[in-house]
Amino acid sequence: MRRVEHIMGFPISLRIDDGHTPAEAADAVFAWLHEVDARFSPFKPDSEVSRLDRGELEPGELSADLTEVLGLCEDYRVSTKGAFDVRLPGRGLDPCAMVKGWAVQRAADLLEAAGVRTYCLNAGGDVVAAGRPWRVGVRHPEHADQLCTVLELTEGGVATSARYERGDHILDGRTGRPATGLLSLTVVAPTLTEADATATAAFAMGTEGIEWAAARVGCEVFAVDADRQVFRTPGLPVAA
Amino acid sequence: MKRALPVLVLSIAGLVPVWLYEPSPATTSSSTSSTTTTSSSGSAGSSSTVVTGPSLTTEKGDVQVEVTFAGSKISSVRMLKQPHHPQTTAAVPVLIKETLAAQSADIDTVSGATITSGAYKKSLQAAIDARG
């Protein structure tokens, strides 16, 4: 079963390889992601994130979900010494970098809870997969139709941060300037929440982010710096 | 020159501890003898031997290992005591350096920077999704 929908401005491709899958399992995935868009988008004035940013919500009034997301954001801000920061001076609260991986991982958890075993969910380039060896190509940072490596994973998340799709959108919170030290950085982790946040945070840090990400428990890294040099961890699951 | 001299003296003074530094056993200030325990394991009459090494006091803290032999081969090594020093608790990660390669291959999906819905049509992932 394959299905593609566009939510939050990016394509979401779901593939389920189990013999019989109730359509409701896939429906639940897309319904959840629509809900996330409505609740956490900083671009929607009535979202919980926008209301919090305007001071309309007290800390005690936050949903458990947003409390969890903001707690994760704070962990990464401290761990990166401020390079990853969803509250930059002069800008509104923007937890998108954390929400995406967290929400797509939650969608995968919904599939698991519905009894789905063999699936691959790709949300605009962030992947969470389970059930069989999945071959995940990592897009070449300079050639859209080429790959720079192929990974194989049976369970877990893969996320890539780079400038080639949306330009200098990742800022180094320590300087407020666009992060330009890397062309692309990919993280493989047990969950997409970890993979996506680690990839974004490491990208914001620049070249020093490669070692920082590689030192995180459970994370494998593939990075291309501005000089086109590749750095990867020995445990990276490169396909044969 | 008047300023350079104290700097030179201080540099040499700073190097002295480095020259004097010598890894164990010079830094060992106390030790106990190792102990050996032999036990017979159930399978095929082979025996395993557990050797507890001496406790060494290093400048980073106490170190003691326990080694289990299956016959003459080491089957496991366990740290009984290890220093809580940054060098042992957070090792610098190993990174492999490679040159950037471009390839095309048979894949199930593509990981890349977040692609917009507008750019999706021309993407590799769209081609994979259309293949069905």
- Identify the weakest region by mean pLDDT among A104-108, A230-234, B61-65, B106-110: B61-65
Pair A23, A46: CB distance under 8 Å: no
Please check whether residue B112 lies inside any domain of the structure: no
pLDDT attached to residue B61: 73
Please state the ipTM of this predicted complex: 0.92
Please check whether residue B107 lies inside any domain of the structure: no
A130 close contact with B: CB closer than 8 A: no
Q: Which residue has the tokens 């994979």?
A: B128
What's the average model confidence in pLDDT over B7-32? Answer: 48
SS3 for A74?
A: helix
User: Which burial class, exposed, middle or buried, applies to A110 when counting CB atoms under 10 A from its CB (0-12, 13-18, 19+)?
Assistant: middle
How do beta strands A126-139 and B109-111 pair?
parallel
pLDDT attached to residue B7: 52
- Alpha-carbon distance A158 to B30, whole Å? 49
Nearest chain A residue to B103 by CA distance is A147
Please check whether residue B81 lies inside any domain of the structure: yes
Helices (H) and strands (E) in chain B, counts: 4, 7
- Alpha-carbon distance B5 to B87, whole Å? 34
Residue B43, pLDDT > 60, answer: no
SS3 for A220?
A: strand
- Alpha-carbon distance A153 to A187, whole Å? 12
Pair A156, A143: CB distance under 8 Å: no
pLDDT attached to residue A98: 93
Tens-place pLDDT, residues A182-232: 999 999 999 999 999 999 999 999 999 999 999 999 999 999 999 999 999
Where is A40: in which H helix or E strand?
Answer: helix A23-40
Please check whether residue B101 lies inside any domain of the structure: no
A184 close contact with B: CB closer than 8 A: yes
pLDDT attached to residue A170: 84
- Alpha-carbon distance B35 to A163, whole Å? 59
pLDDT attached to residue B26: 41
Per-residue pLDDT of chain A (240 residues; tens, 9 = 90+): 999 999 998 999 999 999 888 889 999 999 999 999 999 999 999 999 999 999 999 878 999 999 999 999 999 999 999 999 998 888 888 898 899 999 999 999 999 999 999 999 999 999 999 999 999 999 999 998 999 999 999 999 999 999 887 777 788 888 888 888 999 999 999 999 999 999 999 999 999 999 999 999 999 999 999 999 999 999 999 998
Q: Which residue has the tokens 């047990």?
A: A190
How do beta strands A177-178 and B35-40 pair?
unpaired
Residue B68: left if φ>0, alpha if ψ -120 to 50, beta else—which one? beta
CATH architecture of the domain covering A2-232: Roll (3.10)
pLDDT attached to residue B42: 42
pLDDT attached to residue A223: 97
- Alpha-carbon distance A123 to A102, whole Å? 11
A125 close contact with B: CB closer than 8 A: yes
- Alpha-carbon distance A202 to A188, whole Å? 13
Domain of B53 in residue numbering reads as 28-90
Q: How many residue pairs from chains A and B have C-beta atoms closer than 8 A?
A: 159
Nearest chain B residue to A137 by CA distance is B110
A118 close contact with B: CB closer than 8 A: no
Please check whether residue B74 lies inside any domain of the structure: yes
> Number of C-alpha atoms within 13 angstroms, CB side, residue A118?
10
pLDDT attached to residue A237: 97
Pair A95, A86: CB distance under 8 Å: yes
Distance from CA of A171 to the nearest CA of B (A): 15
Q: Work out the percent of chain B whose per-residue pLDDT is above 70.
A: 56
* Angle between helix A96-113 and helix A64-79 axes, rounded to 10 deg: 130
Nearest chain B residue to A145 by CA distance is B124
Please check whether residue B57 lies inside any domain of the structure: yes
What's the average model confidence in pLDDT over B24-47? Answer: 51
**Which one of B111, B121, B124 would you mutate to disrupt binding with A, by most A Cβ within 10 Å of its Cβ?**
B111
Pair A99, A196: CB distance under 8 Å: no
Tell me chain B's radius of gyration from C-alpha atoms. 29
The whole-model pTM stands at 0.75
Report how many domains make up chain B: 1
The reply to whether residue B92 touches residue A150, judged by beta carbons under 8 angstroms, is no
pLDDT attached to residue B90: 57
Distance from CA of B131 to the nearest CA of A (A): 10
Please check whether residue B39 lies inside any domain of the structure: yes
A215 close contact with B: CB closer than 8 A: yes
